[in-house]
Structure 1
Amino acid sequence: MRRSWFPYLLVAVVALASLAGLAIRPAEQARRGAADYVVVAAAPGLRWEDLDPQRTPALWQEASQGSVGWLSVRSAHDVTCPADGWLTLGAGNYAAWDTREVTGKCAAAEPRLDRPDDIGASVTDQRTVVRNNQERMPYGTTPGALAESVRCTYAIGPGAAIAAARPFGRVDKYAPELPADPRAALGDCVLSIVDLGTISGSGADRQAAVAAADATLARVLAARPERSLMLIAGLSDTDPTSRLHVAIAEGPGWENGWLTSAGTGRDGYLQLVDLAPTVLSALGRPSPEKLFAGYAATVSEGRPADPAAAMQGEHDADRRAIAQRGVAEIFFTVLAIVQLLLFALAVPVLIRARRHAGPAGPPLPPPRLVAAMEAALIAAGLAIPAALIADLVPWWTSEHPAWMFGAATGALMILGTLLIRLTPRYPRTLLPMAAVSATAVLVVAADLVTGARLQLNGVAGYSAVYGVRYSGVGSVGLGVFVAGLLLLAGCVAQQVTRQWRPLVMVIFGGLGVVVVGSPYLGADPVGAIAVTAGVCVAAAISTGGWLTFARFAWATLAGLAVTIGFAVFDLSRPTLEQGTLGRFLTALANGTAGPAMQRAAAASGQALLDSPLTLLALFGGLMLVFCQFSPWGGLYRLYGLHPAVRAGIAGTIIATLIAGVFGGTALGVSGTAAALVVPMAVLAALRVLLHAADRTPPPGETDGPGGPLMRKTDEESERIP
């Protein structure tokens, strides 16, 4: 009795250890300064490539002395035009000036203003803007929330008036342009917002606009109050091409560091919605949590002293993000097409490999054809791990980034295939599956341990331009990691006796929950919950048989226990350190979760239609259906011989579907998982079919007297190298 319960006791211990692993916290090194005054000087369209020590001395001085970062200017629109950027700054939440989509060059930020006196102004359209954002946009934004949080705001320039207007349209103090002597204006209110002008176009016209903005900034710097914080931002795009922009904070406590926030979790990256909380935090005022979507900026150490070394040249994240968007679409589209062709070519090979009735059947596929098919399937399974490693090469600096990235990825796929092929135990049925899965797990885990640098703005990662994720594991990394983890667990579990297989699955799953869910590694609590669900199902059926009601009930209870423990842990952390699960539960408790759910549903719908990963998921699903329900497929035979592998595949399907639906990526996670799982499943099924069709007698086996030649069983074939 004790022996029968001991594995289950160890399963519970592993689950508890996984939750304990989530509580590990590295030493905090972030800091932020305080100020008596804050001056926000913004120039829509300003990018780091515009700065130069000779042409823009004031901007260069601020970048050299202060803390810097890349600013993601996401707003309520897909394209953030100047008016949207100014409004988002003043709202502290994703806002849009109007409901029209941008199809060409952005319009200038020129609000209609009334001047009832010589002190302030009134934005005529503010009430309409507020109503549109609260009723027609999915964010429940209240424009003017920043101005409502301070006693007095001074706006200089038309764009600044949009940011400084209160919800009913009043701008406390306003000047259409910077006064000749701005000292009195900048010291009149604790918050001053200055419009430095819009930076658009290219060539000499753009340089002239940047020089004019720099000259205005120099006058502001000369007149700024003592103990003031300067926030300089390129707070919007100027055309449909979304970019990363300038973010500089300079003042006491903001020297020589990287800007970051709890919203990005990445040194050197800031969101537009983080600027309003930063203003209030510097002034020592609380943020209206139900209204603001961002988090106050902090400063991290380790920035190079020279702004050029930190933000330009090979370190230009904006340039890399631009290249990433085009290359990623090409890569995943080509991968989907190649895998579709590969599956189509594999079908006749599988049909010929099936054992037929009678003493003799049709000839088996030629060994060379089988070897070529196996090599192609291994290479296909290694495609995404190879793409992750290829981001070590600075392909984005090439004149032809897609070709350079493709060459690097192809070389890594060939190298990985050769290494697996030369492994001494390569003939074993599950060896290729285990090797490819282990490679995927190690690549993603190593990347997360070292800061997820391969995924940030990487082809097989995520782009900071979209303003969705800046750190941790992305949907592509999550899919390939979960698939590799559960397939590897299935291969390892198959080597032990039945009663110990659930423990093996749970051990691998526990490690996966820590890697995916830890806020300092994967930082994806939704993904961690999905992994928990997949592991519970995989553990329940790893011993063989069907997923009975009793097994399903125990798996559900175990998954709920881990999920509740994860939620309690996330809610117990400080607000600024909570993950997406804690923030969602907090929003659910205070009644503000509706917009978040609406955004996730909209994102899933768009991803389902637009992403090439949907094709990978559909093609992979069709191939699995063929292999399982066709008499030539071989998956039934594979599952019968290796039930733990079936458990790994089933767990992968469940985990990736949950992660995609609740993470807002639809079939994105499933598509990347399918790119690894399906080629490996086809390869293993092909090997099982070939073993079953082999009529060669085992060593030492002869014909019986007058009897037919003895044939190897599937189990015997598995024992013969």
Structure 2
Amino acid sequence: MLRRLAPVLLTLVVVALGVTALTARPEQGSPRPRADYVVLVGMAGLRWDDVDPEHTPTLWRMARDGSIGSLSVRSAHRPTCPVDGWLTLGAGNFAAWAGNRQAQVCPPGQVTVEQPDSIGANLPDQEAQVLHNQERLPWGTVPGALSESVRCSVAVGPGAAVAAARPFGRVDRYAPALPADPAELLGSCVLSIVDLGTVTGEDPTLRAEAVRAADADLARVLAARPPQSLVVVAGISDTEQPSRLHVAVADGPGWERGWLTSASTGREGYLQLVDLAPTALAVLGRPMPERLFIGQPAAPVEGRPADLATAITAPADADREAGAQRRVADGFFVVVAVVQVLLAIAVLPLLRRARRHAGVGRAPVPRRVVAVVEVLLVAAALALPAALLADLVPWWRGEHAGWYFAVVTAAVLAAATTLVRLAPGYAATLGPLGVVAALATLVVGADVLTGARLQLNGVIGYSALQGGRYAGLGTVGLGIFVGGSLLTAGWLAQRVRRAWRPMVMVSVGGLAVVVVGSPYLGSDSIGAIALTAGVSVAAAISAGGWLTVSRLAWASMAALAVTVGFAVLDLRRPATERGSLGRFLAALGDGTGGLTVHRSSTANVETLTNSPLTVLALAGALLVWFALLQPWGGLKRLFGIYPAMRGAMAGTAVAALVGGLLSGAALDVAGAAGALVVPMAALAALRVLDHSADRTQPVGDRPQDAVPAAGRADGGAVASTAGGRGAGASTAGGRGAGASAGVSPP
């Protein structure tokens, strides 16, 4: 009865851990400050390295007294050109200006603004822009949603007119340029949007002249600001490739000397362009058009250095790191994919010749060659964790950032590989696998526990320029952590008796679910749901047997239970506090869920065709299916001797595929997991085949001990099946005194 109830009980444990991790939410900060007026000031292209006391004294004083942050200007177009940025600002959602433009190049900012009277203005192209964003783009964006949420708005300059125009094109109050005394204009409506021009190019002299002129205009805005007002200055767009992080400063009552953040980023010092519209409405106390806005209101948080010069080094350095990450990441993953493919090809002949037949057949490959290949396999598996650790060194600050990153990563990789090679259990069959999996899990887990600082703008992490994630566990980090934690769980489970193995898998896997799903840590609800399914699969077959329909059903039920439990509790929260699953279900309820599904499908297709990790995933799958799982490949024999490892690898495959597809990452999660798991599977298969003709004596008088040790599935008294060395250690990578006697294993 206990054996039959075990899957049910273990499933309940995993579900409880998953729901607990996903539903615990950080406490919300103090209420956001309110104001009677909001003035949004845009300077397209403005970056933090443009700000200094000499050329921008007004902005410098404003940043010193207010709250500051790095602004990601993501829109529906890459790069975000000025007209896209202004349109996104007024929509509170990712938008793009329709029109002919060359790829990766910003067109001249030519916006037609008609002034039929001396009060407002009209944009004749606005209705066409609304149709373009509604019908051609997957975001459901409505340009002018911000102005529609207030009774009256002011626009100064053509860019501001784009942001302030209502969906039918009307601008309530308009001035083509900033008046000498703008006090009356800025006080005529609760919301004002001001265009102070564009800062473009890389010439320091030209940029300095542009920001000096804009700063002089900003001084007039601040001098004429209405009482009890919030003024926000933002570098609302890029002006050319490559994309950059831009300036965000908020100055007003309650916004003193802090970092800017929002629920959409979850990271102190970062907010998105789409957050500015909901920020304005929240400060004014206006209701939020939840179906239209994708951003979240910004808020100030404490912790900023008192010295402004020290404080702005952080966003300026983040801009440099994000730019370097974009240049280095693609090349790095291409190199990793090529190396792993070449290594897989090199392993094939070794697998064919590794299995011994009691002295019969071809001569084995020389030991030195095998040893070198094993070390290369270890290095290949550790490549991604080593690249993550490389961000401990500020490699992006040099002129040759790519070379610095390569040198640092190579040094870290060499040190990690040496550590594995010198580990006490390296000679055991599962020794390298266990140490590599534990190292990878430790590296990613430690980063997540300390705020995921290595993943933000890191080569192995996520870029603030892309706007997909700013905190928690990224796509590649999720793949490494899923593969590492489940392999570690399988390695530990194989060292205990059969009856305890599912408990070990659930204990380690459940802890991993908490790390992935907790909003305090990984903040990835989709990843936690996928890992729940993987842990359930791994626990179900860790004691022996295959993935039957009933076991797969239990795993699916566990993931479904976590999903339902989290969804029910998440939907009870305020809209601004919901996770991604809660927002999706709310969208289904109001009829906009199809947009989310469409965006996820589009993201899967784009990632599948453009990501080097797809090559890693496919190459790993081909190596496993056409080589390792063949009779001569050794993986089936490995699974027979070490069933907990079979469970761990099966669980990894399930979690990686489910997590990638549901999150719109296609095979990226599987590729990252495969980069760790497949080399270790190949290494373990080589060692199992190398000892396929070994002989061991049965030990003990118990019936289960009468089975040849090399063929047992539960380990028991023979250290070889637990990854150690003992009387029968020949099957674990060593050759004992009794290696040539006994009964041949099946």
Contact 2:11 2:554 in 1 (8 A): no
Contact 2:14 2:558 in 1 (8 A): no
Distance of 1:281 and 1:598 partners within structure 2? 29
CA displacement at 1:24 relative to structure 2: 3.7
* SS of residue paired to 2:489: helix
Distance 1:214 1:627, change over 3 A: same
Superposition pairs of residues 163-312 of structure 1, within 5 angstroms: 163-203=163-203, 204-312=205-313
Which residue of structure 1 lines up, in the alignment, with residue 552 of structure 2? 552
Distance of 2:353 and 2:91 partners within structure 1? 65
Distance 1:89 1:415, change over 3 A: same
Distance of 1:11 and 1:406 partners within structure 2? 44
Q: Which has the higher mean CA deviation after the structures are superposed, 416-425 or 80-89? A: 416-425
Distance of 1:7 and 1:103 partners within structure 2? 54
Distance of 1:99 and 1:470 partners within structure 2? 31
- 1:605-647 Cα distance to aligned partner (Å, 9 max, x none): 1111111111111111111113334332111110111111111
Distance of 2:124 and 2:559 partners within structure 1? 54
Superposition pairs of residues 443-482 of structure 1, within 5 angstroms: 443-482=443-482
Amino acid aligned to 2:109: A
Contact 2:653 2:670 in 1 (8 A): yes
Amino acid aligned to 1:290: R
Contact 2:255 2:300 in 1 (8 A): yes
Task: Confirm or deny that 1:15 pairs with 2:45.
Answer: no
Distance of 1:338 and 1:76 partners within structure 2? 35
Distance of 1:17 and 1:589 partners within structure 2? 28
* SS of residue paired to 2:70: strand
Contact 1:353 1:693 in 2 (8 A): no
* SS of residue paired to 1:95: coil
Superposition pairs of residues 345-364 of structure 1, within 5 angstroms: 345-356=346-357, 359-364=359-364
Distance 1:2 1:342, change over 3 A: closer
- 1:110-146 Cα distance to aligned partner (Å, 9 max, x none): 3212212111111111111111111111111111111
Which residue of structure 1 lines up, in the alignment, with residue 61 of structure 2? 61
Superposition pairs of residues 86-125 of structure 1, within 5 angstroms: 86-103=86-103, 105-125=105-125
Amino acid aligned to 2:223: A
Q: TM-score, normalised by structure 2?
A: 0.92
Distance 1:699 1:496, change over 3 A: closer
Which residue of structure 1 lines up, in the alignment, with residue 744 of structure 2? none
* SS of residue paired to 1:243: coil
Contact 2:461 2:477 in 1 (8 A): yes
- 1:147-187 Cα distance to aligned partner (Å, 9 max, x none): 11111111111111111111111111111111111111111
Q: Which has the higher mean CA deviation after the structures are superposed, 647-656 or 94-103? A: 94-103
Q: Which has the higher mean CA deviation after the structures are superposed, 17-26 or 203-212? A: 17-26
Amino acid aligned to 1:588: L
CA displacement at 1:572 relative to structure 2: 3.0
CA displacement at 1:498 relative to structure 2: 2.6
Distance 1:3 1:623, change over 3 A: closer
Distance 1:297 1:91, change over 3 A: same
Which residue of structure 2 lines up, in the alignment, with residue 323 of structure 1? 324
Contact 1:72 1:245 in 2 (8 A): yes
Distance 1:689 1:104, change over 3 A: closer
Amino acid aligned to 1:534: G
* SS of residue paired to 1:316: helix
* SS of residue paired to 2:465: helix
Which residue of structure 1 lines up, in the alignment, with residue 646 of structure 2? 646
Which residue of structure 1 lines up, in the alignment, with residue 666 of structure 2? 666
CA displacement at 1:109 relative to structure 2: 3.3
Distance of 2:250 and 2:374 partners within structure 1? 55
Which residue of structure 2 lines up, in the alignment, with residue 628 of structure 1? 628
CA displacement at 1:712 relative to structure 2: 8.8
Task: Confirm or deny that 1:136 pairs with 2:140.
Answer: no
Distance of 1:14 and 1:623 partners within structure 2? 31
Amino acid aligned to 1:469: R
* SS of residue paired to 1:196: strand
- 1:352-392 Cα distance to aligned partner (Å, 9 max, x none): 21123x65333222222222111111111111111111110
Which residue of structure 2 lines up, in the alignment, with residue 161 of structure 1? 161
Distance of 1:627 and 1:207 partners within structure 2? 61
Distance of 2:196 and 2:629 partners within structure 1? 66
Distance 1:3 1:672, change over 3 A: closer
Superposition pairs of residues 448-597 of structure 1, within 5 angstroms: 448-597=448-597
Which residue of structure 2 lines up, in the alignment, with residue 386 of structure 1? 386
Amino acid aligned to 2:468: V
Distance of 2:130 and 2:23 partners within structure 1? 41
Contact 1:486 1:649 in 2 (8 A): yes
Q: Which has the higher mean CA deviation after the structures are superposed, 205-214 or 100-109? A: 100-109
Amino acid aligned to 1:687: R
Which residue of structure 2 lines up, in the alignment, with residue 81 of structure 1? 81
- 1:45-103 Cα distance to aligned partner (Å, 9 max, x none): 11111111111101111111111111111111122111111111111111111154543
Contact 1:11 1:503 in 2 (8 A): no
Distance 1:22 1:598, change over 3 A: closer
Distance of 2:31 and 2:49 partners within structure 1? 27
CA displacement at 1:464 relative to structure 2: 0.4
* SS of residue paired to 1:247: strand
Superposition pairs of residues 363-442 of structure 1, within 5 angstroms: 363-442=363-442
For structure 1, which runs of at least 5 residues remain unmatched after alignment?
Answer: 701-710
CA displacement at 1:200 relative to structure 2: 0.8
Amino acid aligned to 1:350: L
Distance of 1:313 and 1:523 partners within structure 2? 23
* SS of residue paired to 2:249: strand
Contact 1:77 1:101 in 2 (8 A): no
CA displacement at 1:434 relative to structure 2: 1.1
Contact 2:78 2:104 in 1 (8 A): no
Distance of 2:590 and 2:219 partners within structure 1? 44
CA displacement at 1:554 relative to structure 2: 2.3
* SS of residue paired to 2:154: strand
Q: Which has the higher mean CA deviation after the structures are superposed, 436-445 or 538-547? A: 538-547
Percentage identity across aligned positions? 59
Amino acid aligned to 2:296: Y
Q: Which has the higher mean CA deviation after the structures are superposed, 114-123 or 271-280? A: 114-123
Contact 2:72 2:272 in 1 (8 A): yes
For structure 2, which runs of at least 5 residues remain unmatched after alignment?
Answer: 700-707, 713-717, 722-727, 735-746
* SS of residue paired to 1:249: strand
Distance 1:712 1:97, change over 3 A: closer
- 1:180-229 Cα distance to aligned partner (Å, 9 max, x none): 11111111111111110011112222221111111110111111111110
Q: Which has the higher mean CA deviation after the structures are superposed, 403-412 or 620-629? A: 620-629
Which residue of structure 1 lines up, in the alignment, with residue 715 of structure 2? none
Distance 1:327 1:665, change over 3 A: same
- 1:437-476 Cα distance to aligned partner (Å, 9 max, x none): 1111111111111111000000000100011111111100
- 1:574-633 Cα distance to aligned partner (Å, 9 max, x none): 322221111111111111122222111111111111111111111111111133343321
Contact 1:688 1:714 in 2 (8 A): no
Number of residue pairs aligned between Structure 1 and Structure 2:
709
Distance of 2:657 and 2:356 partners within structure 1? 35
Distance of 2:30 and 2:19 partners within structure 1? 26
Amino acid aligned to 2:375: A
Q: TM-score, normalised by structure 1?
A: 0.95
Amino acid aligned to 1:199: V
Amino acid aligned to 1:280: L
